[in-house]
Amino acid sequence: MTRSNETQDRQREFALSNKEFEKLTGLVHSLTGIVLGEHKKDMLYSRLARRLRDLGLQSFNQYCALLDSQQAAKETGFLVNAITTNLTKLYRESHHFDSLASYLQTIQKDKYRKTGDKTVLIWSAGCSSGEEPYSIATTILSKAPLLSNWNVKILATDLDTNMLAKGREGVYPLSSLDSLPYGYKTAIKDNIQTKDTEIKFRDRAKSLIHFKQLNLLHEWPMKHKFDIIFCRNVLIYFDAETKDNLVQRFTENLRPDGMLFLGHSESLMHKPEEIKLIGKTTYVKESLSDG
Ligand SMILES: C[S@@+](CC[C@H](N)C(=O)[O-])C[C@H]1O[C@@H](n2cnc3c(N)ncnc32)[C@H](O)[C@@H]1O
């Protein structure tokens, strides 16, 4: 331990030894895939100190003991919710929604004619508090309105149960509208009610979205392939092997011609052969007629 760490530890309410830090980060990694290096020690401390206070514990040593006890299963849920980073916003990385809108218009025009199928399945994987799936829903309603007569489903999954509860509620602070990109203000405003300092999504947007808890590291129970998958700003928290493995699984779960959107800093070192880059962190799966 360095001198500055020692000073910091003396000033902290709870001591956090290297051994405890390693135990907690090891557990977080095995539960979520999230990698927490030494530089994340302050973050881990501040996110868990509150939990220790709520539990009336005196030290991280006691918290680690709790995670080894019979109550571990219940506590790991709190640990995971505390550790995940949930930063998100409406129409984040709005260029993806421009590509989404034009792909939805192609689906609206061609899919039924070519395949007789009027289903559109979209997955927002790592949806956090729901702003991403609501941005997808309002893009559908405003830019490809004929699809509202189709069977359109947005599956919105996350590991963090607190975030899923927020998403299901569909209520956000009025300030969420502050930085909406040009071209999407009406899409949102047509699909919300405003009350005091809050906005609430209307049922027509809400009814398109199905929030479910899913750990991306586990088996995926989906029976059908997706037309579109968003997994943005999630892979950055994982190691290279987990990231490659997930991108391979997303690719397998896409229909031919389907689109995959990743986050702005998630360009791929090892891209599966079946997908090609067509825009900024935007991929399309090869169509059946290719090759
Ligand atoms: C930064 S948010 C991204 C939200 C949204 N996709 C966006 O780009 O604005 C990352 C989300 O990934 C979720 N997450 C982290 N590890 C996960 C895992 N193993 N399985 C499912 N979700 C996970 C977190 O709970 C968090 O809500």
- Boundary of a domain, candidates 44, 61, 83: 83
Report yes or no on 90 lying in a domain.
no
CB 183 within 8 A of CB 142: no
CB 36 within 8 A of CB 44: yes
- Tens-place pLDDT, residues 215-272: 999 999 999 999 999 999 999 999 999 999 999 999 999 999 999 999 999 878 889 9
Distance CA 228, CA 16 (A): 43
| d(CA 128, ligand 1 centre) in Å | 6
Q: What share of the chain has pLDDT > 70, as a percent?
A: 95
Q: Is residue 279 domain-shared with residue 212, that is, in the same domain?
A: yes
Here the ipTM equals 0.99
Task: Please tell me what DSSP assigns to residue 145.
Answer: G
Distance CA 61, CA 79 (A): 15
Q: What share of the chain has pLDDT > 90, as a percent?
A: 90
Q: Is residue 170 domain-shared with residue 39, that is, in the same domain?
A: no
Residue 231 three-state SS: strand
| d(CA 234, ligand 1 centre) in Å | 5
Mean pLDDT calculated for residue range 97-105: 97
| d(CA 218, ligand 1 centre) in Å | 14
Report yes or no on 271 lying in a domain.
yes
Distance CA 251, CA 236 (A): 18
Angle at 116 between CA 114 and CA 121, to 5 degrees: 95
Q: Is residue 116 domain-shared with residue 194, that is, in the same domain?
A: yes
Q: What is the pLDDT of residue 3?
A: 45
Q: Is 69 exposed, middle or buried (0-12, 13-18, 19+ CB in 10 A)?
A: exposed
Nearest ligand 1 atom to alpha carbon 160: 25
List Cβ neighbours of 114 (8 Å cut-off, separation of 6 or more).
none
Helix (H) or strand (E) holding 172: strand 171-173
Residue 1: name the closest of 49, 9, 39, 62 by CA. Answer: 9
How many domains does the chain fold into?
Answer: 2
pLDDT band at 291 (very low <50, low <70, confident <90, very high): very low
pLDDT band at 148 (very low <50, low <70, confident <90, very high): confident
Q: Is residue 110 domain-shared with residue 69, that is, in the same domain?
A: no
- Boundary of a domain, candidates 58, 83, 108: 83
Distance CA 230, CA 232 (A): 6
Domain boundaries, position 197: 95-285
Q: Is residue 160 domain-shared with residue 217, that is, in the same domain?
A: yes
Residue 191: name the closest of 201, 206, 178 by CA. Answer: 201
Say if ligand 1 is within 6 A of residue 234 CB.
yes
Largest Cα span, the chain = 70
Which CATH number covers residue 8?
1.10.155.10
Q: Taking all residues of the chain, what is their mean pLDDT, rounded to a whole number?
A: 94
Report yes or no on 290 lying in a domain.
no
Q: Is residue 157 domain-shared with residue 32, that is, in the same domain?
A: no
Q: Is residue 106 domain-shared with residue 55, that is, in the same domain?
A: no
Q: Which amino acid is at 277?
A: L
Substitution site in 159, 179, 236 for ligand 1 pocket (most atoms within 8 Å of beta carbon) = 159
Report yes or no on 238 lying in a domain.
yes
- Tens-place pLDDT, residues 39-96: 999 999 999 999 999 999 999 999 999 999 998 999 999 999 999 999 999 999 999 9
pLDDT band at 12 (very low <50, low <70, confident <90, very high): confident
Say if ligand 1 is within 6 A of residue 132 CB.
yes
Length of the chain: 291
Mean pLDDT calculated for residue range 177-186: 93
Does the structure show a pLDDT above 70 at 21? yes
Does the structure show a pLDDT above 60 at 10? no
- Which residue has the CA at smallest separation from atom 7 of ligand 1? 88
Say if ligand 1 is within 6 A of residue 34 CB.
yes
Which CATH number covers residue 160?
3.40.50.150
- Boundary of a domain, candidates 83, 110, 129: 83
Q: Is residue 132 domain-shared with residue 179, that is, in the same domain?
A: yes
Say if ligand 1 is within 6 A of residue 269 CB.
no
Does the structure show a pLDDT above 60 at 25? yes
- Which residue has the CA at smallest separation from atom 9 of ligand 1? 88
Q: Is residue 58 domain-shared with residue 122, that is, in the same domain?
A: no
Task: Please tell me what DSSP assigns to residue 236.
Answer: G
